[in-house]
Amino acid sequence: MNLKEILNWRYTTKEYDATKKISDADMAEIKNLLRMSPSSVNLQPWHFIVAETTEGKARVAKGTQGFFSFNEPKVTNASAVVLFCVKTDADDAYYQHIADTEDKDGRFPNDDVKNGFLGAVKTFAGIHKYDLKDLQHWMEKQVYLNIGSFLLGVASLGIDATPMEGIEVKALDEEFGLREKGYTSLVAVSLGYHAESDFNSTEKTPKSRLAESEIFTLI
């Protein structure tokens, strides 16, 4: 499929075929999509819990109880579920870790370039931490960038997906001990193949978007 076809094909899946599983090769591609996503100053303020087993999906499904119970089948019947988590803080030690990792990967020809990069990271993070006082929100934005590229990427593999903000964050944070590790859960994305009975499938329901004339200003 070309890009237009992929965009027209993908949609938010409402019902999964529990008998269909994502191949190991595609799961490797999916993990690479998560890892290679862009982020501001390469901050990578994320962690991913990838549930493929029945037991793992049941643990994620603990975040779909009560009010969000309508999302439970989308977790348990999917082939896999990714829980996107965001850092709750970032400090000089983490910025140094990012710079050291880039250095190890060969991105810096000398220490001056490395120190310049590290200074830029601290500057931009400092603006959000001290001036704008929105460091947490800024890091969440980076995770949402990842989710956006992730949804397009899995669609290019012919895999259906369902992003879900309808989760009990506190329950999932407790289930996986996230806050003690410096993270909190943000969004869950189910992956797999839609059931024939899925009413929201693009095979049954055409996609709808605002007209180009309404959303574009061409200058």
Both structure tokens of 131: 């001036």
Q: Which amino acid is at 12?
A: T
User: Which residue is catalytic, options 74, 87, 122, 140?
Assistant: 74
Q: Which of 133, 165, 170, 207 is catalytic?
A: 165
Let me know: does 161 contact 13? Beta carbons within 8 Å: yes
Please count the other Cβ atoms lying within 10 Å of the Cβ belonging to residue 187: 20
Are the CB atoms for 215 and 24 separated by under 8 Å? no
Q: How far does the chain reach from its first CA to its final CA, in angstroms?
A: 31
What share of residues in the chain are helix, strand, coil (percent, to 5)?
A: 50, 15, 35
Is position 74 annotated as part of the catalytic site? yes
> Which are the contacts of 128, defined by CB distance < 8 A and separation ≥ 6?
134, 135, 138
Our answer to whether residue 165 is catalytic in this structure is yes
Calculate the alpha carbon distances from 141 to 12, 85, 152, 169 in Å.
21, 12, 17, 17
Count other C-beta atoms under 10 Å from residue 153's C-beta.
Answer: 19
Q: Which residues are catalytic?
A: 14, 74, 165
